[in-house]
Amino acid sequence: MRKPSLRAYRIASLFLLACLLFNYPVLALFNVGATAGGVPVLYVYLFAAWGVVIALAAVVIEGGS
């Protein structure tokens, strides 16, 4: 087996981070009735976290080696 590259470790870490962000108990922290700028925080959180994960994926997976 070849030794996994640093990029591979980064991708795996990002995957684990995403698993954490979109799972209990982190989700429960935002599953509250409050709003942020008139929008429910759970809604804001989900899309913001999703966007961050996508941005990181773009940098890690497609960005420069």
Partner 1 sequence: MLQGWIIVAASFAYIGLLFAIAWFADRRAARGQSVVSNAWVYSLSLAVYATAWTFYGSVGRAATDGVGFLPIYIGPTLTMLLGWFVLRKMVRIARLNRTTSLADFVASRYGKSALIGGLVTVIAVIGILPYISLQLKAVSTSFQILLGYPEVAMPPPAGSMVVMQDTAFYVALFMALFAIAFGTRQLDAAERHEGMVAAIAFESLVKLVAFLAVGIYVAYFMYDGLGDIFARASGRPDLEVLMAPLGGAAGSYANWVWLTVLSMFAIVFLPRQFQVAVIENTDERHLRRAAWLFPLYMLAINVFVLPIAFGGALHFPPGTVDADTFVLTLPMTQKAEGLALFVFIGGLSAATGMVIVETVALSTMICNDLVMPLLLRIRAFRLSEQRDLSSLLLDIRRAAIIALLMGGYFYYLLAGEAYALVSIGLISFAAAAQFAPAVIGGLYWRGGNRTGALAGLLAGFSVWIYTLLMPAFARSGWLGVEFVERGPFGVELLRPHQLFGLAGLDPITHAMIWSMIANVGAYVLGSVIRRQSAAEHAQATLFVDVYQQTGEPGSSWRGATSASALQTLVGRFLGPARAVELFTAYARLRGARSVDELEGDRDLVRFAELQLAGTIGAASARTMVATVAQEEPLGLEEVMTIIDEASQVIAYSHRLEEKQQELEEATRELKAANERLKELDRLKDDFISTVTHELRTPLTSIRAFSEILHDNPDLDPGERQRFLALVIRESERLTRLINQVLDLAKIESGLAEWRTAELDLREIVLEAIHATSAIFKSRGVTVEARLAPAVAPVMADRDRLMQVLLNLLSNAAKFCTPGTGRVEVRLEGHAGGVRVDVEDNGVGISRENQALIFEKFRQVGDTLTEKPAGTGLGLAICRRIVGHFGGRLWVESEPGRGSVFSFDLPAAAAAGGAGRLVANA
CA distance linking residue 34 with residue 44, whole number of Å: 11
Q: Which of residues 2-61 bind partner 1 (CB under 8 A)?
A: 2, 8, 11, 14-15, 18-19, 22-24, 27-28, 31-33, 35, 37-40, 42-43, 46-47, 50-51, 53-55, 57-58, 61
DSSP state at residue 32: S
User: Which tokens belong to 65?
Assistant: 């080696």
Q: Look at strands 39-40 and 35-36 and give their pairing.
A: antiparallel
Q: Interface residues with partner 1 (CB under 8 A)?
A: 2, 8, 11, 14-15, 18-19, 22-24, 27-28, 31-33, 35, 37-40, 42-43, 46-47, 50-51, 53-55, 57-58, 61-62
